[in-house]
Structure formats: C-alpha cells, structure tokens
Structure 1
Amino acid sequence: MMNRKGGVGKTSITSNLAGVLAQAGYKVLAIDLDQQGNLGDDLGYRHTDYNDHGAALFFALNSGTPLAPAKGIRENLDVVPAGEQTALLADTLTGRQRRNEDPSFGLADKLAEIADQYDIVLIDCPPGDTAIQTQALVAARWILIPTQPDSGSLNGLEQLAREVIATQPKNPTIMPLGAVLFPIDSRAKRMKARKHEEIREIMGDLAPVFTTSIRFSQTSGVDSRDRGQLAIELARDAEEQDPFAWAKALKARKAGETVEETPSQRISDSAGSLAEDYVELTGEILQALAAHESSPAGEVA
C-alpha cells in the first residue's frame, strides 16, 4: 500500500484487507513500515507483548537475523510491527546509501526466506521515507494505491508511477495493481465517477481504478481504531448489540435496582456498510490478482 501523501487510508486498507483475507482462510503476513505503528491500533496489539516497536525488522535488515513476525495477531494473520526502531532503521539505511552501499534488497531477501509460509504478504508503507519505501518497492510484486479524492492526493500518483518505473531495474516484476478511493461519501456518485476518470487519466494504462471505494464513515472509523477492531469485527458486534441497553440500565437505576455492568457505547449502524466495502474490495483485488497471475483466487465469504 503506497502513496506519497499521508492520511489516504494505507493503514486502514492494509489491516482490513488482512483481516478479511485471514478470515477467509488465507495465511496472511502484514508488515508495518511506518514508524507511527498505526497498524498496531487497527489490530489492537500496540499495548501488548506482540509489539516490538520495529525491533524484528531492524535486526533482520541490519544483523542478518531471520525475520521473526509476531504470530497469531488473528487466526491466520501474523504481523511485523513498527515503531521507534523503524525510525532508527530508516536512518541506518540512509547512512548506508551515503556510504555508496546498496541496502535496497534487505527486505526482499528476508521475505524470500519466509514467503512460503504465507499466501499473501501486505506491506503498509509510510508516506514519505524514500529509503523505507525503496525496501518495499524492491520486495513487492504489486502496488496498491489508496488515494483521497482531493487534488493533492491525486497529484502524487504521477510521482509514484515514476518511482515504480524507476525501481524496475532492481525489481522487473513490480507493477501498480490499481488505485482505491478512500474515503468518499457513498452518496456522492457524480463526484466518485469524476474522480475515477481523473485517476484513469493520470495512471493511463499503468493501473485501473477499483470499482469498490471505501466510504466515509468517521464514527465507525474511530470506533474501529479505539477498540482495536477491524470493520468486519465491529460489524459483527454491532449486529449482536442490544440497541436498548442504555435505556434498560437507566430504567433499572431509577427503579433502585442494581446494574452490574454499564453498557458499552453503542456501535454505529454504519459498521456493517463499511465492512461490506472492505469485503467487496478484497474480492475485487483477488480477481485482479487472478487475472494477472493466472492462478485461482478463491472466494471471500
């Protein structure tokens, strides 16, 4: 997931694609290359022992140790976390470049050692760090490009396309897989169609725009990150919640009855629609991969 601009949905798309794929039975590895480590918020492991703050990746790329992902963040989902050690890694890689070394293949080499353990590897890239982004570009087969509908986000697509082309001498197979609009008002059909056309004009034949976009849903987005839950998990809990829990608790207190537990904040009804967007996007991505690589992609239920 790559875009030079920040805040375009790279981490949200990485985590939710990973969750949908893992739930469908794919063995998934998600790699966080952003020193902010926001993948840990989306998947709920930031304040747990799973979070090594980027140490596993740092030592793998600098000391030659095997890359050791955190296992079992979800069933079928492992993660390489990021954090302050990722920032140190970026400085180290930049220093090696200044000494005329070429550390570009570090991540690719380490992933090659463990790739056969997974069906798919998703890499969440930072918005602006060239040394870290180069690691991803050399290691990856496909680039998925999340973009907001504003002109600033769209203008970055041309630069990214140039960077992908510039990386091809080191990684001849890398290509953009497609662009994803994130987030966009689901009711703004005319704007969505116009922005799709603008992206097509920018990208040309390099990559399509995926039909599925991720809707703007601030409440569900905040709930997901605050709870450390993916959209599909939030939607499941929304279906199971009692919509009258708070009213019942207040009525019980007024009557002098003991309320053992305060009801949790009600999950927004938009959670289900947001989850559907991610499921549909995952299916569309799998179809694109199958078409490009001529291999069965299966179905996402």
Structure 2
Amino acid sequence: MNFPLATAALNSMTVQQMVELIRPKLKRVIIILNNKGGAGKTTTTANVGGQLATALAAAGSSKRILCIDLDPQGNLGLDLGYQGRTGDDQGQSIINVVEGTGPLHVIRDVRPNLDVIPGGKVLKRITASIIGTRSMDPGREIMLSLAQAIAEISDDYEWILIDCPPNIVDLQYLAAVAAEYVLIPVCFDQGSIQGLEGVSDVFEASARLNPSLTPLGVLLFGFDRTNLRKVKNSEGEVIGVREIGFLAESRREITEVLGDSGIPILQTVITRAVKVARECRKRGKTFTELADLTAGEDWKEHSRRHQLNLSVESAETSAIEIEEVTAEIIKRALELEAEAHA
C-alpha cells in the first residue's frame, strides 16, 4: 500500500495494522527529549540537523533532513532563522494533523537539504485539540496522527529530528509514538538530571503504539570547558582529553541514574559557550555557520564596532563539538539499525 493513505483505507484498519504499516517508514526518526527546560534540546536539534544537511549537500545527495519543532516556544525558528517569515504557521499544521483537518506544512530549503515543520504558540492548544477530537470521533487513535503524517512524507528524508517540549505530555507522547530513537540532552544543573529520570514515563506511555522506541543515548550538554584536560604523550602531543571536576562527577551521577538500563552516555560533550549560543540565536545561525562567519576578514572590525567579545576559537570549538557529536549520534543509530536487521 502506498502513502498517503486514503480515508477509506484508514477506516478499514485496526490500530495494530496501522502500527505495522507505518513503523517501517519511521526508522530514522529521532526525538530530542528531556523534561527539563534549558537542557539543550533545541540547540541540539538545530545544529545536528544543520550538520547532517550540510554533509548531504556537500555529497551532492538528493536526500534531505527534516527538523520538526513541537515546542510552543518555537525557538527552533530563532536558531535556524525562519521565525516570523513566510511559511511559519507557529505549529498550526501540527494541530491540523491531530484534528484530522490537514497535512503537515513543510518549509522547504531553510538550508540546502534542510526542511522544517515549524512549531510555536499554536501548539499550546494541543490538549484541547485532543480532547475535542476524541469527543467528536471516539474511535480514532489520535496519538498515531503525527506518526502517520510523518510516515507519509518520510521517503524524502534521510533523518528526521523532532525537538520536544519539556513537561507537555501530549506533545511528548505524539513524538514518541512517531520515533525510532530518543536522544536525551542533560545539562549541568540538577534539574536537567532529574528531567532525565522522567523520560522513562514517555517510554511507558508510548509502548502500546510504539514498542520499538529505543534510547539512542544521553548527551552531556553545557558543561564548562575547564572540566576538560588535554592528555599528552611523552612527546608532548595531545592524544585525548580527560574529564575532571563537575563534569566527571556528573557523568558518574548520570551513570548511576541510568543503572542497568543499557542507555549509553555519549563520549562527546557539548561545552558551555554562552556568547556563541547568544550570537547564533540572534543571527539565526548554527555553530558551524557562526564559526565560518567569525573566520571572515571583516569579523574583527565588526566585533570592534559592535563591542562583541567573541573569539574565532570559541566559535570554532563549538562547531567542532557539534561535528563530532553528530558523527557519534549517527554511528550509534546505524549500529542499532544494523542490530535490528541482523
């Protein structure tokens, strides 16, 4: 059967048949989730999505990356620079999908090979929309609606990343039912670590409609660079880094929280770079794009004129970290994919 599905075909299917039909279309959907705000979810979505799209464009691939914003704050639009522009419906198409009144609205070519489905303040209506739709159509499995809508367009995309909001259960549940993998950014504060513990509730809630949801790993986000020490060999060459202080302590604490869950902590750490993050959001640039900008000949004059204290090195460091963590994320996902098909 081909996508999109006709209404008659949908009505004739059981929930289990629908799940079995759409799951193969969702094998490369990753949700970025933590119940704590400010844990780095949106920054991770924008920068990993941007990095993957850049790689596809450089390879001359016709495949694309899709980023979906499920957060009513809509900050993905700030990070990628499309907020308030033509096509930014502030999440209306996601509500339409839930209510069964329309398809997902895709903004094409936010970057070469990168598309987005915008979120924003309209998503605050999600719970009311679900309740209202259930009252009008009690037989419909609403929590499959986003998964079905993504499945209908998934053939166009190599990877699909979904930025989830903190503490909005209905949106988290919709995302979890539509995903194959969960990436969990954890920031340096205790609240972010506690937010990690709440992620298990999402797994439990989505298990009936998505038993294949798999943890991709925990991403340590926003830790101080002073907690990383260079490791040198006898000749003085840098051969690695060693975690110390609060970062090392946090990795141990998170490992204890994870227990025997089998969820790994990614090796790459995204270190705190407040000035870089501020400039990125202000300009609608990814870390890599800002690093390219700061390396330009006129950056020093621009920085002097606008009193910007942002070095080329700090922007470049953030860009390198995103490149490394993107490679680690995809390597892990492909390993899990290979295991599933073994």
TM-score with structure 2 setting the length? 0.77
Q: Check conservation: 1:241, 1:266, Cα contact below 8 A.
A: no
Q: How far 1:163 sits from its partner (Å)?
A: 2.5
- CA deviation digits over 1:109-132, x for unaligned, max 9? 101101111000000001011111
Of 206, 219, 228, the residue aligned with 2:275 is 219
Give the corresponding residue for 2:46. 15
Return 5+ residue gaps in structure 2 as ranges: 1-31, 57-62, 228-242
2:185 aligned residue: 146
Q: Which residue of 2 aligns with 1:69?
A: 106
| More displaced stretch, 54-63 vs 103-112 | 54-63
Shift of 1:68: 2.6
- Aligned CA RMSD, in angstroms, stands at 2.2
1:289 aligned partner: 333
Mean CA deviation greater in 157-166 or 98-107: 98-107
Equivalences for 1:1-301 in 2 at 5 Å?
Answer: 1-25=32-56, 27-96=64-133, 102-188=141-227, 189-190=243-244, 191-204=246-259, 205-242=261-298, 244-245=300-301, 265=308, 267-269=310-312, 270-294=314-338
Letter in 1 for 2:145: G
- Check whether the contact 2:98–2:130 (CA below 8 A) recurs between aligned residues: no
Q: Secondary structure at the match of 1:277?
A: helix
Percent of counterpart pairs with the same letter? Answer: 35
Counterpart in the other structure of 1:254: none
CA contact (8 A) 2:173 2:205 kept: no
**CA offset at residue 244 of structure 1?**
4.6
The Cα of 1:233 is off from its aligned counterpart by 0.2
Does structure 1 conserve the Cα–Cα contact (< 8 Å) formed by 2:291 and 2:319? yes
- Tell me if structure 1 keeps the 8 A contact 2:54–2:113: yes
Return the alpha-carbon distance in structure 2 between the equivalents of residues 202 and 150 of structure 1: 14
- In the alignment, the residues of structure 2 paired with residue 221 and residue 93 of structure 1 have an alpha-carbon distance, to the nearest angstrom, of 35
Determine the C-alpha separation between the residues in 1 that align with 2:52 and 2:185: 18
Within 2, Cα distance between the matches of 1:14 and 1:149?
18
Q: Report the secondary structure of 1:21's partner residue.
A: helix
Matching residue's letter, 1:279: E
User: What letter matches 1:195 in structure 2?
Assistant: S
Give the drift of 1:64: 4.2
Cα distance in 2, alignment partners of residues 42 and 287 from structure 1 = 25
**Displacement of 1:81 after TM fit?**
0.3
- What is the rounded CA distance, in whole Å, between the counterparts of 1:155 and 1:266 in structure 2? 34
Judged with a 3 Å threshold, the aligned counterparts in structure 2 of structure 1 residues 21 and 33 are, in CA distance, closer, same or farther, namely same
How many pairs does the alignment contain?
A: 282
Which one-letter code corresponds to 1:65 in the other structure?
G
TM-score, normalising length: structure 1: 0.87
Deviation at residue 292 of structure 1 after TM alignment: 0.7
Q: CA deviation at 1:76?
A: 0.5
Report the AA paired with residue 134 of structure 1. Y
Deviates further, 89-98 or 167-176: 89-98
Shift in Å, 1:133 = 0.8
SS in 2 for 1:146: strand
Q: 1:246 to 1:119 in 2, by over 3 A?
A: closer
Moved more, 35-44 or 143-152: 143-152
Residues 36-92 of structure 1 show CA distances to partners (whole Å, capped at 9, x for unaligned) of 100000000112113111122222222342323111100000000012221223421
Task: Pick which of 229-238 and 50-59 moved more.
Answer: 50-59
Residues 161 and 203 in structure 1, CA contact (< 8 A), matched pair in contact too:
no
